[in-house]
Amino acid sequence: MKKLLFAIFAHPDDEAFGPSGTLVLEARSGTELHLVTLTSGQTGQNPDGHEDLGVVRLIEWHKAAKLMGAAKTHYLGYRDGQLCNNVLVEIQARLIKIVKEVVSQQDEPCEVEFMTIDDNGITGHIDHTVASRAATFAFYTLKGTGNLPLTRIRYVCAPQDVFPTHNIDWIYMPAGRTPEEIDEVVDAREVLDTVRQIIRCHHTQRADAEAHLSARADAVAINHFIVRN
């Protein structure tokens, strides 16, 4: 059966730095991939002094989406760094609307899967947690209607061997997940070169990108997930 995958994240580089290997494999195996970013990442690093960083970052995101093989992108227009309770309810409703619209346009039966970020935020960024909670609400709400074939929601997480302990250098960043907490590991090293290209699409965030690539080496294409259904 055809699979629709909604990958819902807060910032334009979240899926690239996170589960891009898995997303590439999904798209190549025929999954219709929908990428959702809640913000344009307009308060990210801006080494080139772009006047409107958000516009540049969305262009970078679209390049990365193309390399990933995404069928469609959905930008929701919220402000980077300002995701919170005040917008959570609206985001949930908009996600539900997007999924319903996409499903209604299908001319064959399909199953629907979600992917988002661990609700601990991985880096501790509250935007990440809001994206995760909104995606989770939309998933269970749609599933609860009984009308849509919702299968599972996968939360990309960091394993304990990457972040052995919590970190309070800046904001609270939790330790990585233990092996018992991780339900699925996807080894996408067969598309490692593409993963590296996808990460490097985010040229404005190149300091983080190169640090991430160098720290993780080949493991940048190995993704860890908590899975719920």
Rounded Cα distance, 206 and 221, in Å: 18
* Main-chain dihedrals φ then ψ at residue 218, nearest 5 degrees: -60, -25
Q: In the bound complex, what is the minimum distance in angstroms from residue 148's beta carbon to Zn ion?
A: 28
Q: In the bound complex, what is the minimum distance in angstroms from residue 12's beta carbon to Zn ion?
A: 8
Residue closest to Zn ion when measured from CB atoms: 11
Rounded Cα distance, 133 and 151, in Å: 17
Contacts of 102 (CB under 8 A, 6+ apart): 4, 6, 34, 72
**Pick 14 or 32: Cβ nearer Zn ion:** 14
Token readout for 164 is: 């052995």
Q: What are the E-state strand segments in the chain?
A: 2-9, 32-39, 72-78, 110-117, 150-157, 184-187, 222-228
Rounded Cα distance, 83 and 119, in Å: 13
Q: x/- binding map, residues 50-69, to Zn ion, per CB under 5 A?
A: --------------------
Strand-by-strand arrangement of the 72-78 sheet: 72-78, 32-39, 2-9, 110-117, 150-157, 222-228, 184-187
**Pick 32 or 80: Cβ nearer Zn ion:** 80
Q: Which of 5, 11, 129, 224 binds Zn ion (CB under 5 A)?
A: 11
Contact segment (CB under 5 A) with Zn ion among 9-17, 49-57, 138-146, 162-170 equals 9-17
Q: In the bound complex, what is the minimum distance in angstroms from residue 17's beta carbon to Zn ion?
A: 8
Number of C-beta neighbours around residue 226 at 10 A:
17
**Pick 14 or 118: Cβ nearer Zn ion:** 14
Minimal CA–CA distance to 135: which of 120, 149, 115?
115
Q: In the bound complex, what is the minimum distance in angstroms from residue 126's beta carbon to Zn ion?
A: 10
Q: x/- binding map, residues 165-204, to Zn ion, per CB under 5 A?
A: ----------------------------------------
Q: In the bound complex, what is the minimum distance in angstroms from residue 70's beta carbon to Zn ion?
A: 18
Contact segment (CB under 5 A) with Zn ion among 12-20, 129-137, 176-184, 211-219 equals 12-20
Contact segment (CB under 5 A) with Zn ion among 13-21, 24-32, 59-67, 135-143 equals 13-21
Minimal CA–CA distance to 102: which of 71, 69, 58, 78?
71
Is 14 a binder of Zn ion (CB under 5 A)? yes
Binding residues for Zn ion (CB under 5 A): 11, 14
